[in-house]
Structure 1
Amino acid sequence: MDLMLGPFADAKLESLSPPDLDRFEQLLEEADTDLLKWLMGQEPTPADADRDFLDRLLAFRRETHG
């Protein structure tokens, strides 16, 4: 998960609003195995997960890794 979330945190953490920081921290509380499956598209994101923030993470990864 460090390879997935670390670059996002390095690039965006300082510019995130307090509510977005809370959202990011909430995602970090998810089990790594679940979060990885959601980010890799191996399992659908549960309805109670923050899909919008997960989409931001995926968009950042696409932007930085082509």
Structure 2
Amino acid sequence: MTELSPRLARLKFRAWHRGTREADYMIGCFFDRFHAEWSEADIDLFEKMIEEEDVDIMAWALGTQAIPAEYRGPLIDRMMKLDYVEIPR
């Protein structure tokens, strides 16, 4: 396993410490599954997006709220598939 850069380690922490278990799984699992594939622009966008409210991020991913123009694109499109969420039982 490759050690994360300090920036990615901070993003991982933020992705997994959202405030609700549902948001932790959605955003944290998304980070874990895809961060290694991201470009610098993707990392910048994710870093900006996770400063938004959990309810908004989840609504965008679930398609129940319009996605702001600055977040539209491949990153949020991938998040909307929701096939990356692994919930421990």
Q: Tell me: higher relative CO, structure 1 or 2? Use CA pairs within 8 A at least 6 residues apart.
A: 1
Shift of 1:21: 0.6
Within the alignment, does 1:28 sit opposite 2:31 as a pair? no
When normalised by structure 2's length, the TM-score is: 0.58
Instruction: Kindly report the root-mean-square deviation, in angstroms, between the aligned alpha carbons of the 2 structures.
Output: 1.8
Sequence identity percentage? 32
Bigger-Rg structure (1/2): 2
Equivalent pair of 2:60/2:80 in contact (CA under 8 Å): no
Q: Which runs of 4+ in 1 moved over 2 A?
A: none
- Equivalent of 1:7 in 15, 29, 36: 29
- Gaps in structure 1 of 5+ consecutive residues: none
Shift of 1:49: 3.4
Bigger helix fraction: 1
When normalised by structure 1's length, the TM-score is: 0.73
Indicate the SS of the match to 1:30: coil
Shift of 1:23: 0.9
- C-alpha distance in 2 between matches for 1:56 and 1:37: 14
- Gaps in structure 2 of 5+ consecutive residues: 1-22
